[in-house]
Each structure stands twice: as structure tokens, then as C-alpha cells.
Amino acid sequence: MKHTMVGEKCPGPVEVSADSRFHKTLLWVVFCILALMIPEAMHGQATGSFSGNVLDKSGSAIPEASVTATSRATGQVRSGKTDNVGHYLIPLLPVGTYTVRVDMTGFRSAESKDLRLQVDEARELDFSLVPATVVTTVAVSGEAVAVETANPSLGQVITSQEVSQLPLNGRDFVQLATLTAGATA
């Protein structure tokens, strides 16, 4: 197949030197590296952070306490833990109104609501936790024993489950009579 050009003379082949290709490739690689090195703060991010200390009422640090920041507008939850000296940091939070809560086993939870976080604000927020109260609940369950006042005789129903769980010597059923209050063998 023959190609012809109308109106102009076809220029000869263009030769690109290897040196020119190397410079273009190098320029492209440098551009990509610089684009990756620009920090996020240069992208116009509107963020802030919460940090502070979590202490007990005597002023001692509480390590490994859970600190949670919840955005009131979006419901987004970000959390962190305190370090060995009781310090926490929750960075890169979008601007908004937050509730910050601290939880730790053995202590009552502490919460601070309606905290307005502004652009590029690093808000310090310290918490003091008090020991939790110990609550003991005892649940007693059982059936009420019906008292028959018309008949003076003694009697009791012993279920098959109770019989199977009792240590009866030789499985003598007469021994079951001694289980009734006031009965003698």
C-alpha cells in the first residue's frame, strides 16, 4: 500500500536522541516524587485534634484508657488509648462539634459534650476519673411451698430429677422419706 501526501513534502524521519528521552523520564520521576512528598496540610484540609491527660482523682496517670471522639453532625467515631503516662491524642478530626468520652474498667466514664473544634485547632482536654462503685446483686429464685392447713399430715413431692441427683445408699427409696421436714426414719 502506497501513501502519498498532498500539498506538502513529507519530512524525513524525526530522530529522538536517547539523552532527550532520559531527561524527559527523569523530569517525570522527579515530578511524581514531589507530588507524593507534599503533606496533607498543603491540600487545604480543615482538621483539628483533641489531646490531653487522663488521671484518677489522686492525680495518677491511667494507662490504656479508651478515649472516643464522636462527631455530632456525622456520627463519625474516632478513638484512641492513653499511653503509659495517661496522655492521649486523636488527630486529623474534621471541623465540627464533638462529644469526647473516656472509659476504663474500674472507673466511672467521663464525658464532655458540645466541644466545637475549629480549623487547625489542637484542643487540650484533660479528664479526671473516679473509681466506680461496686454493685452486687443477689438473685434468689425458687418456688413457694404450699402450706395445707386443713390436714395435719406431712408430705412432700420429690421429682425424678431430684432423686437422680441425690446420693442414695443402695438406691433405697425409704431414705427419701427422711428428706421431708419433720419426718423421721
| CB of 154 closer than 8 Å to CB of 183 | yes
Q: What pLDDT is stored for residue 144 in this prediction? A: 63
Higher-pLDDT residue of 46 and 156 is 46
Task: Catalogue all structural domains in the chain, each as residue range(s) with its CATH number.
Answer: 45-129 (2.60.40.1120)
> What grid cell was written down for 155?
408430705
Q: What pLDDT is stored for residue 39 in this prediction? A: 57
53-57, 84-88, 111-115, 141-145, range with the lowest pLDDT:
141-145
The model carries a pTM of: 0.51
Q: What pLDDT is stored for residue 41 in this prediction? A: 45
Cα-based torsion angle of the residue sequence 113, 49, 86, 136 in order, rounded to the nearest 10 degrees: 30
CA 163 to chain centre: 49
Spatial separation of the C-alpha atoms in residues 177 and 183, rounded to whole Å: 7
Q: What pLDDT is stored for residue 24 in this prediction? A: 84
pLDDT band per the 50, 70, 90 thresholds, residue 185: low
141 three-class SS:
coil
Average pLDDT for the chain: 81
> What grid cell was written down for 21?
528521552
- Grid-cell match 517525570, residue found: 28
Backbone angles phi, psi at 66, to 5 degrees: -90, 125
Other C-beta atoms within 10 Å of 25: how many? Answer: 10
Higher-pLDDT residue of 146 and 72 is 72
Is pLDDT above 60 for 165?
yes
> What confidence tens digit (pLDDT) does each residue in 127-161 have?
999 998 877 777 776 666 566 667 666 667 777 78
Mean pLDDT, residues 43-62 = 89
Mean pLDDT, residues 77-104 = 95
pLDDT band per the 50, 70, 90 thresholds, residue 70: very high
CA distances from 30 to 39, 142, 149 (A): 16, 80, 101
First to last CA, the chain: 124
Mean pLDDT, residues 31-52 = 74
Q: What pLDDT is stored for residue 78 in this prediction? A: 96
pLDDT band per the 50, 70, 90 thresholds, residue 5: low
